[in-house]
Amino acid sequence: MTAVQQGDEVSWQEFYETYRPLILFCAKGRLTPEESEDLVQLVMMKFFRSGDKFRYDPAKGHLRSFLGTITRNTITDILRRRKAPDTGTPLPEPDVDDFEQHWEQEWEKHIFAQALTELKSRVSARVFQTFDLYVLHSQNAGDVARFLDIDIDRVYKAKLRCIRILQEIVSRLQEEK
């Protein structure tokens, strides 16, 4: 986070690529595609301007809350500027509780996707493929063992190893963000 706050270009690009899909998801069903792209740019700009105010302090909150608040407020601003076509009156503002619930759900998916990417880099391709088929795609352990031409015990061991590593990664990511 410090490198992003100091304006490191590579860190900013990673930050942008990491959080853009999450921000876009929040716009889904609320904003047009053009407004959604504007949302991403506005959120990133607001975060950059106020990012120096963000310091990780578990007592005060996390990046998740900080970024979520910026995103929710920016969506609200975009919707306020929009007028209903026939009446000229502003459209209703998004439900804050609804947004928070969706933000949390998407954040968890986001963390899990990042954790899977890291897991894939930390285990062999064969172990990840075994885990992917057995756990993520809910294939029968015997079928996975036959398909991969491995002993069924290796399927169970791959599952246990990957789950243990995933738990560690998810825990770390949640603390960081």
**Which pLDDT score is estimated for 1?**
47
pLDDT band at 173 (very low <50, low <70, confident <90, very high): confident
Higher pLDDT, 27 or 42: 42
| Residue 150 structural domain | 112-177
Mean pLDDT of 77-95: 66
**Which pLDDT score is estimated for 123?**
97
Residue 65 sits in the same domain as residue 127: no
Whether 103 is covered by a domain: the verdict is: no
Domain count, the chain: 2
CA-to-CA distance for 136 and 34, rounded, in angstroms?
A: 34
Residue 137 sits in the same domain as residue 83: no
Closest CA to 24 of 44, 1, 50, 4: 44
DSSP 58-77: TTTB-HHHHHHHHHHHHHHH
Average confidence score pLDDT of the chain = 83
Q: Highest mean pLDDT range out of 83-97, 117-131, 161-175?
A: 117-131
Beta strands in the chain (DSSP E): none
Could you tell me the CATH number of the domain that includes residue 129?
1.10.10
Residue 4 sits in the same domain as residue 75: yes
Mean pLDDT of 22-49: 89
Please indicate, yes or no, whether the overall pTM of this predicted structure exceeds 0.95: no
Whether 132 is covered by a domain: the verdict is: yes
Residue 83 sits in the same domain as residue 129: no
Domain final residue, candidates 94, 122, 148: 94
Is 98 in contact with 141 (CB distance < 8 Å)? no
Could you tell me the CATH number of the domain that includes residue 87?
1.10.1740.10
Residue 85 sits in the same domain as residue 160: no
Residue 8 sits in the same domain as residue 63: yes
Residue 34 sits in the same domain as residue 119: no
Residue 39 sits in the same domain as residue 75: yes
